[in-house]
Structure 1
Amino acid sequence: MADTNQDDIGNQVQTLIQRTIDRNIKGLEYFRSPKPKLGVTPKDLIFERGTLKLYHYRPQADEIYRVPLLLVMATTNRGSIFDLMPGHSLVEFLLKSGYDVYMMDWEAPLPHEKTLTLADYTARFIPECIERVQERSGEDDITLIGYCMGGVLSVIYQAMHPDGPVKNLITFTTPTDFSKMEMFNVFTAKEHFDVDRLVDTIGNVPSEMVFQGFSMRTPVSQAAATARLYDNMWNDAFVDSYRKVDAWAVDMLPLAGEYFRDTTKKLMWDNELLTGKLDVEGKIADPRNITVPFLHAVALHDDLVPYEASHPLISLVGSEDKEEIVLKGGHVSLVAGANAAKRLWPAMDAWLQERSL
């Protein structure tokens, strides 16, 4: 028995020594290596208008479902989170499952695009992209899929066009009750956050300010993530995944000035999406108007859009065919990476199959 314990301790010590060596060698490699490539699944740019880019991914299955999917990315980041890396790509999964996939992605708005409003994103950009998808696919029906603020834009669009071309609506980690957005409420509180002065003075809101706003929400968890990286520096698979998520997360985009003013006042301050009073160019965007099949995915441990901020959407939407799935994970791990491949993606595929014929 003593020999067995001694052997176990010896093996543990050898493993510790090897991992310590690997951790330090690979730590140097981590900082010397080039920025990882994201979004490598083949695609074609089929439409662009300033900050907006519409991509069509090339099919990867012999038989394709009739109803195409249009992904709507959050305006703060690029859509590569949907296509992180081969084997850990939502886009790749959907293509191989037989779906025709399109994505609304964003670039940094140019100085003259500071005048873009919430109405531009919901009443112009989304309809224009839907028209291009219809033309290219030859189908009238569309499934609209929005992530985070992309989900908010999708909900607003559909609430204004309940009898339009959208056949199905899917949202991930989509804020609805903005009073529950915790740190963002502190950051943008009326008593100290002069959004009018900010936008009137500088126009587009710089990406550095957006990044700082996100970073303030969970400084402890960010330190913990760095510690986990160090502990797992010996693990090539972990480091590769971490680097790609981190590269996506820090590559934040500026926000169009008037759009930022609208979202701050109408959503963060007045909570008009929750109350059903959001007026977009004379149309009321009330989620209760939505009647198409609806799937809402919520992350149980989301520190960006807490469960309490996202959960009310399922009860607001007027659809009879609606479902909420609450999954373990955070804001990013819900949609990207190994856990998403086991949890959200198969659940979404199962939900979509019969509704995409």
Structure 2
Amino acid sequence: MSTAADTPFALPDIAVDMAAEIERAIQRNLKGLDFLTTAAPAVGQTPKDEIHRRGTLSLYHYRPMADEIYRVPLLIVMATTNRGYILDLAPGQSMVEHLLLQGYDVYMMDWNAPRPQEKYLRIEDYVLDFIPDSIRRVQERSGEEDVTLVGYCMGGVLSTLYAALHPGGPMKNLALFTTPIDFSRMKLFHAWSDRRYFDVDRLIDTVGNVPPEMLFASFDMLRPAGRSAGMVQLWDNMDNDEFVKSYRMFDRWGNEMLPLAGEYFRQTVKELMWGNKLHKGELVIGGQKVQLKNIRVPVLHALAQHDHIVPYEAGQPLVAGVGSTDKEEVVLKGGHVSLAAGPNAVRRLWPKLDEWLGVRST
């Protein structure tokens, strides 16, 4: 027969631990109820002015936050599927705010859902119309001829195409994050867009613009267990207010994907994904062949170590292929989103971007 002396834990200690765990479970349930019944936190709060809007495009100018401003303005080009507030989540968690506080003059090409009549938009429309028109408006508003392009993901692809087709300027610098060049290395995207089973022509001819639900499902396929794992992590941290706030902001952004213009999607699948024409040097935009070697401005490309959307192998050919003598590739800890937004970005990408831009923006 065992005695109290043989018991490894005293009963009062077990009771205290059980009471603490029960209390934590109660608090998590209360927080969970609050999570379900309250509005998501506000995002994109950095003061800005919409200086131009045309169809799917909104061009914003963020109001300065520093007394001294760098001469060369920055124009951020977002992917057409994503809302730009991922770079402006909240005070203290905003790349835009960080750049403004360092003295940069920041503009952003953000996107709205394309209208049905915009289903005919092609890569040419973004590269040869929207970007040049936005640059011209930035020049007019800033009074400066030079402009730095900052492109994120497919926004980086559009920026790269523009740079290659306009070697004479007025672009001063090209800073890119997680930008794919060799689309053959994006294995999981190739799996779901396998031409043997995926009839892109039938899809676009039927639906026009590609609905966000389809895009959302395709990203979920890249990490099938990701959403469930995220919910488990959320529950484990439900009593951590800062974690919950951050989770809700990222979750909101992830769920607010935009439709893709139909012809743009068709062209991306056929020419970039299937044909890999950008990497091969065979891509023709507006009658001009895109050659990375024509890019001669300073180039920075930041890639993420754990990017499941744009693996390192897909982005690596960019810096190797441009004709610039001033070029740099950096590989930082993080994933496709956490590279640019969140606590990881605050410590790694943002300081690096400021360091790189600072000496090239005067």
For this structure pair, what is the TM-score category when the shorter chain's length is used for normalisation? over 0.9
Name the residue aligned to 2:260. 255
Q: TM-score, structure 2 length as denominator?
A: 0.94
Paired residue secondary structure (2:198)? coil
Q: TM-score, structure 1 length as denominator?
A: 0.96
Structure 1 Cα separation of the partners of residues 74 and 273 of structure 2: 29
Structure 1 Cα separation of the partners of residues 302 and 189 of structure 2: 21
Structure 2 Cα separation of the partners of residues 300 and 6 of structure 1: 48
- Aligned pairs for 1:84-163 (under 5 A) are 84-163=89-168
Matched, 1:235 2:240: yes
For residue 19 of structure 1, the aligned residue among 12, 24, 28 is 24
Structure 2 Cα separation of the partners of residues 123 and 345 of structure 1: 29
Paired residue secondary structure (1:347)? helix
Instruction: Give the conservation status (yes or no) of the 8 Å contact 2:220–2:226.
Output: no
Tell me how far 1:222 sits from its aligned partner: 2.5
Instruction: Give the conservation status (yes or no) of the 8 Å contact 2:59–2:107.
Output: yes
Amino acid at match of 1:288: K
Instruction: Give the conservation status (yes or no) of the 8 Å contact 1:56–1:101.
Output: yes
Tell me how far 1:22 sits from its aligned partner: 2.1
- The one-character-per-residue Cα deviations of 1:150-199 (angstroms, maximum 9, x if unpaired) are 00000011010111111100110111111111221011111111111111
CA RMSD of aligned residues (A): 1.9
Structure 2 Cα separation of the partners of residues 294 and 5 of structure 1: 64
Name the residue aligned to 2:176. 171
* Unaligned runs of at least 5 residues, structure 1: none
Structure 2 Cα separation of the partners of residues 8 and 144 of structure 1: 61
Structure 1 Cα separation of the partners of residues 14 and 100 of structure 2: 48
Name the residue aligned to 2:210. 205
Paired residue secondary structure (1:288)? helix
Paired residue secondary structure (2:145)? coil
Structure 1 Cα separation of the partners of residues 217 and 8 of structure 2: 55
- Aligned pairs for 1:206-225 (under 5 A) are 206-225=211-230
- Rg: which structure is higher? 2
For residue 245 of structure 1, the aligned residue among 234, 237, 250 is 250
Tell me how far 1:287 sits from its aligned partner: 1.4
For residue 56 of structure 1, the aligned residue among 37, 58, 61 is 61
- Aligned pairs for 1:341-356 (under 5 A) are 341-356=346-361
Structure 2 Cα separation of the partners of residues 159 and 127 of structure 1: 13
- The one-character-per-residue Cα deviations of 1:102-161 (angstroms, maximum 9, x if unpaired) are 000000000000110010011110000000000000000011000010000000110101
- The one-character-per-residue Cα deviations of 1:237-258 (angstroms, maximum 9, x if unpaired) are 0000010000001101001111
Paired residue secondary structure (2:157)? helix
Size of the aligned set, in residue pairs, is 356
Structure 2 Cα separation of the partners of residues 31 and 262 of structure 1: 40
- Aligned pairs for 1:237-316 (under 5 A) are 237-316=242-321
Structure 2 CA distance for partners of 1:10 and 1:148, relative to 1, 3 Å: farther
Amino acid at match of 2:26: I
Paired residue secondary structure (1:70)? strand
